[in-house]
Chains A and B, each alone.
Chain A
Amino acid sequence: DSGVTQTPKHLITATGQRVTLRCSPRSGDLSVYWYQQSLDQGLQFLIQYYNGEERAKGNILERFSAQQFPDLHSELNLSSLELGDSALYFCASSESKGLAGVWEETQYFGPGTRLLVL
């Protein structure tokens, strides 16, 4: 158990709908990352938040958005869902330690939310 929790575990919805995925980081971790794992694209970085602010963006679609709240939990919002959005969505957290100008960001992953769009 990594200490990162994600809800729900499974989600089935229809095209055009909107869903919210939730992530609680490990106690003390300030950074939250979101990744998408699909059969055709593999594991892809979507977005990172650090202490409530967006820090880095990857291959995140405009239909997707995220935020990190004051209690450090994060939500990933997926809207206007398409069949191709079906995937496993992972959240990861890290302590984000700065060491001599280099950020050590070992990421611990949650169990994921499996999204199926029908």
Chain B
Amino acid sequence: GEDVEQSLFLSVREGDSSVINCTYTDSSSTYLYWYKQEPGAGLQLLTYIFSNMDMKQDQRLTVLLNKKDKHLSLRIADTQTGDSAIYFCAEGRGGYNKLIFGAGTRLAVHP
């Protein structure tokens, strides 16, 4: 089973906010990441958060981290059709930060 868990699918209306949730297991993880994968493409780094932070905002993206519950979320404001993709949560584990990925959340944006 996955050590990092995400819901598999999210559907939102264009212009609404999307919230993608993730839970992880290793409390010693120093960095947590969000990657985006469009069909047939590689993984694009969206943002990351250091474990001593609660929140990080980057334009339309807001990352919230609840370290006590080992819960990470990614909020996309004003979701657009170009945001349709699979979003992966990953925790950096071990001294050299190997990434452990969730199964990915497929975001579908409809008009």
Contact = CB atoms under 8 A, between A and B. Distances in A.
Interface of A: 2, 31, 33, 35, 42-45, 48, 50, 55-56, 58, 90, 92, 94, 102-112
Contact of B96 (A44, A48, A108): A48
Dominant SS among interface residues on chain B: strand
Interface of B: 2, 30-31, 33, 35, 41-45, 48, 88, 90, 92, 94-104
B98 to A, nearest CB: 5
Contact of A106 (B2, B41, B42, B45): B45
A103 B41 contact: no
A58 B98 contact: yes
A95 B88 CA distance: 21
Interface of A is mostly: strand
A94 B104 CA distance: 22
A94 B33 CA distance: 14
A104 B92 CA distance: 9
A33 B100 CA distance: 12
B43 to A, nearest CB: 4
